[in-house]
Homo-oligomer: A and B are copies of this chain.
């Protein structure tokens, strides 16, 4: 058999890895409500600016956020397509699971009907 793991796109690896950090998830939550500058985004954290900027680069690297620079201010926005991609992957697994539970229910109901007590 061929190794199955290679079937998954690397992008989703990076999206889930990016979301595994609480600071990065927090930035995504804040950008859901609207765009923000680096200094606004960095303000709530007790973190050196270069460390915080590294988190922003991880988010931008996997396409969860985009940025543009006007003058000296770089502004970040959420790019919701990648969030949707990860959400859809999770939703597919849940639906498969629910379909399986429905089939199991139907089977148990059929057994019950065939053998009334």
Q: Which residues of A contact B (CB under 8 A)?
A: 1-8, 12-17, 19-23, 25-26, 28-29, 32-34, 43-47, 78, 80, 83-84, 86-87, 89-94, 96-98, 100
Task: Let me know if A20 and B13 touch, CB within 8 A.
Answer: yes
Q: How far is the CA of A23 from the CA of B3 in the complex (A)?
A: 9
- Shortest C-beta distance, A4 to chain B (Å), equals 5
In the bound complex, residues from chain B placing their C-beta under 8 Å from that of A34 are 100
- Shortest C-beta distance, A44 to chain B (Å), equals 5
Enumerate 22 A-B pairs (CB-CB under 8 Å) in ascending A order.
A4-B23, A4-B44, A5-B26, A5-B45, A6-B22, A7-B22, A7-B26, A8-B25, A8-B26, A14-B20, A15-B20, A16-B17, A17-B17, A17-B20, A28-B93, A32-B93, A32-B96, A78-B97, A80-B93, A80-B97, A83-B93, A83-B97
- Shortest C-beta distance, A32 to chain B (Å), equals 4
Task: Let me know if A94 and B100 touch, CB within 8 A.
Answer: no
